[in-house]
Amino acid sequence: MQSRTAASMRAIPLLLSLSVAAAFCAAPVSARAAQEPPSVAARVTPVVGGLDHPWSMAFLPEGGVLITERPGNLRLLRTPGGLSQPLTGVPKVAAQGQGGLLDVALSPDFATDRYVYLSYAESDGSKSGTVVGRGRLADDASGLQDFRVLFRQEPKLSSGLHFGSRLVFDGKGYLFISLGENNQRPTAQDLGKLQGKVVRLKADGTVPPDNPFVGRAGARPEIWSYGHRNPQGMALNPWSGELWENEHGPRGGDEINLVQPGKNYGWPLATYGINYSGLAIPEAKGETVPGTEQPLYWWPKSPAISGMAFYDADRFPAWQKSVFIGALLNQNLIRLTLDGNRVVAQEQLLVDRKSRIRDVRQGPDGYVYVLTDASPGELLRLAPAESGG
């Protein structure tokens, strides 16, 4: 089992004060110590404002972008055309605490089936849990038709905290869903519950027969991996095809994981964080625990990481081989430079805007797009400053 080490980088001023070098986040010893990244400050263009706590976005192949708002609205932004009224056919959500309308993803066959997938919090009147469903986007894009629930997190245990959740299709037709542990720590290790898990389903919501826990007594067959706390970002690595996930630690210990079938990612047995009270996590047995996986990368001081997107577009070579991650508490956008699975440099963008970054995506035009978690929130378009984009 690998141990984790920490290093640091000296802060340096960068163009427009939009980017600063940041403290290097501790990582497994197999990762090379980070070096100061090249000065690639961001040029920012506001795209649209007036959003109500936007949470996620998905770009449509015919143009435009779908944006979820946590209180329960799905909006369509067209350029030109502007921001739509809330689309019809969206399910009722439990907009309490961290819950509400969360992620949005398009079917891999969207061009023919027009399915839009949503994750959201659902309440039974007492407790809440994460739900995933899909509906067809109307030809005129005015709403979702025939919306149907495909998956429910069971049992419902949340009082408004730690829902997750991100949706990722893997290129083979399988849907991955990340699920928080509802602030009920021991459930992340309980294979009979769907809290603190990444699950894998077919596109229609049925369970693939080769999932790692299919046929195991006392285990939910949907589970792909377990031992997660509150996953806030998830994306498919375009170079390796591997699934990457990031999650909130408690006080310290935010981390990035390479998600593999049947693996245990440790929470709450293994953690680099402590309780918000300053005391140790009661169930914790150390930073490394036999039988649990080490993260690819972790932060000793939590930035409260959020959405995650790899950059593999040709438009901006300076950003290639990077992964972008939003930060809610630190109110910035993190760019990690990669060498394979190793993080070799870290940079903070959008520092001077002091905005909670909820989601980040690579657009079809090669720009980077981010959502700010506020009311009013914004959709911003980013390019390297020297590109003139």
| Per-residue tens of pLDDT for the chain, all 389 residues | 333 333 333 222 223 333 333 333 444 433 333 444 444 689 999 999 999 999 999 999 999 999 999 999 999 999 888 999 999 999 999 999 999 999 999 999 999 999 999 999 999 999 999 999 999 999 999 999 999 999 999 999 999 999 999 999 999 999 999 999 999 999 999 999 999 999 999 999 999 999 999 999 999 999 999 999 999 999 999 999 999 999 999 999 999 999 999 999 999 999 999 999 999 999 999 999 999 999 999 999 999 999 999 999 999 999 999 999 999 999 999 999 999 999 999 999 999 999 999 999 999 999 999 999 999 999 999 999 877 66
Q: How far apart are CA 137 and CA 142, in angstroms?
A: 8
Residue 315 has which token pair? 């438009």
Q: How far apart are CA 43 and CA 333, in angstroms?
A: 13
Say what the pTM is: 0.91
Minimal CA–CA distance to 54: which of 312, 377, 303? Answer: 377
Report the pLDDT value the prediction gives residue 96, as an integer from 0 to 100: 94
Q: Whose structure tokens read 């769907």?
A: 194
Report the pLDDT value the prediction gives residue 36, as an integer from 0 to 100: 43
Q: How far apart are CA 372 and CA 266, in angstroms?
A: 30
Residue 373 has which token pair? 């978690």
Report the pLDDT value the prediction gives residue 40, as an integer from 0 to 100: 63
Q: How far apart are CA 80 and CA 83, in angstroms?
A: 9
Report the pLDDT value the prediction gives residue 31, as an integer from 0 to 100: 31
Of the residues 53, 162, 228, 248, only one is catalytic, namely 162
248: annotated active-site residue:
no
SS3 177: strand
SS3 65: strand
Other Cβ atoms within 10 Å of 249 Cβ, number: 24
Q: How far apart are CA 144 and CA 136, in angstroms?
A: 5
